[in-house]
Amino acid sequence: MVRGEEPLLSQGRPSSDHSDERSVEEEDALLTGQKRAQPRNYGWAFWREVGLFAWAIIATVLVIVLAVLFSHQQQTSKPTPSGGGRKDGKPTGKRNLIFMVSDGMGPTSLSLTRTFRQTETGLPVDDVLVLDHHLIGTSRTRSTSSLITDSAAGATAFSCGQKSYNGAISVLPNRDPCGTVLEAAKRAGYMTGLVVTTRITDATPACFAAHVNRRAEEDRIAVQEVGEHPLGRVLDLMLGGGRCHFLPNTTDHSCRRDDRDIVDLAKQNGFSYISDRKRFDGLNFGTNVKLPLLGLFADTDIPYEIDRRNMNDIYPSLDEMARTALEALQAATQDSDKGFFLMIEGSRIDHAGHGNDPAAQVHEVLAYDTAFASVLDFLDRDDVEGVVVGTSDHETGGLATARQLHDTYPEYHWFPAVLANASHSAEHLAYQLRDHKAGQHISPLDSGIKTPPRPRSNQDTEEEEGEEDLKSYIRTTLLSDGLGISDPTDAEINRL
């Protein structure tokens, strides 16, 4: 018989180990139409799998519990390098707090600056700012009087922990003064300081050390900052601009409405006073400082960083002032069981937003980013436990990094490299234009008012030549050299 034709029930055909069970199941299925359930035989392999699964669940739960317990212990019982831990878990001992404000900076400011930096220096697209590594959330500073929060209401929320109206300098809506974190630190024995690039009497710094109903009362703010204050002197260090509010109105460069000499008042209250780059350099980045210290380096605001970098021999940078303040306060508290509170503000990010000046904006944010990095470096090196808190009070100017080409279909484009062509801020160029017009004794361009024709004269010719000179100055010095714009139209020139 051929092998392929061998009967299925041949004696030589191998049989399955479970052939008896299978035949019974098949008979039942044929007779009843239903498969009979057979008892399963759970062997060693099955129970081994069950045991391993149960052990995996138990081990996972134990790991999670241990991790939670360890984290809780670290947060509540870990002693600080300069102190210890209380039984209630709150830290004790010497500590420093640096509070940083990027005034007027919104999320688009960071995007604008990040892409500008990447483009200008040839960095990869995943290279980010120092600030980007420390973004953990947002703050809410809403004014009680407006949906648009100003710097005064924002800084009052920071300093007092309570909301107030636009223009309020650490006073509540009912005009009652509210205690600030800086004042509380001073009363607790801490050293205190303010570092800004605007006037030291501007809204943000004022909200930490003064109380007035309106932010415009900068003459009164100056008086309080140097010690004529309900709590006495609450500041040990001030670095920034705003000198004009400290000089009597009988002197040049004063903007006070009275003849009080606030620099002299500061000296009477123990302040050392410096007002120029040479004496700032003499501080040796904080190692040669006598506190309390008042340093005012500009009549009003310190110039934008895009302009200041070309006047470095006149004005210190935000980073230089911040590093000087940190070292000075560290040295002053070295033998104390208390630390210090320092507020550092990137003040003119806000002004660049108000002026719709993107070139000034990116350089202000970069300057703030550099100062932020220096603060982190200081905290890493310092033996005393410290913390930096950085936030913004509001956004300014409705900044958008795009250009709508036409109304029917807005194609958005953003060219960061264009900003790299600018050598100065619009503010600086406006001052140049003012000085040029004053020096040439020429009037502004046609305002649009139509006047009757008159006979031509030598005066007419001189005026026309003056206008042509002004147009040429705007086109070449301001737009081409200052902003890097090489293709302005005549209509754009005339608008300027």
Q: Which residues of 459-487 are buried (b: 16+ CB within 10 A; e: fewer)?
A: eeeeeeebbeebeebbbeebbebbbeeee
Strand 385-391: give its sheet, edge to edge: 272-274, 293-296, 237-241, 191-199, 340-346, 95-102, 385-391
Closest CA to 351 of 176, 133, 204: 204
CA-to-CA distance for 230 and 212, rounded, in angstroms? 12
CA-to-CA distance for 461 and 464, rounded, in angstroms? 5
The residues, any chain, with a CB within 8 Å of residue 176's CB and separated by 6 or more, are none
- Distance separating the N- and C-terminal Cα atoms of the chain: 112
CA-to-CA distance for 150 and 216, rounded, in angstroms? 13
Kindly state the tokens that stand for 286.
């904080």
Kindly state the tokens that stand for 14.
């191998």
Total residue count of the chain as it appears in this document: 496
Point out the catalytic residue in the list 109, 143, 151, 159.
151
Closest CA to 246 of 230, 269, 213: 269
Place of tokens 């340093």: 295
Which residues on neighbouring strands pair with residue 385, listed in sequence order? 95
Bin 75: left if φ > 0, else alpha if -120 < ψ < 50, else beta.
alpha
Q: Is 256 exposed, middle or buried (0-12, 13-18, 19+ CB in 10 A)?
A: buried
List helix spans (H) across 96-239: 107-121, 151-160, 181-187, 203-209, 218-225
The residues, any chain, with a CB within 8 Å of residue 481's CB and separated by 6 or more, are 423
CB 306 within 8 A of CB 360: yes
Measured in degrees and rounded to the nearest 5, phi and psi for residue 432 equal: -60, -45
Look up 151 and say whether it is catalytic: yes
Q: How far is CA 461 from CA 13, 412, 464, 472, in A?
A: 125, 45, 5, 16
Measured in degrees and rounded to the nearest 5, phi and psi for residue 341 equal: -120, 125
The residues, any chain, with a CB within 8 Å of residue 106's CB and separated by 6 or more, are 392, 394, 395, 396, 399
Kindly state the tokens that stand for 57.
């669940």
Catalytically active residues are 151
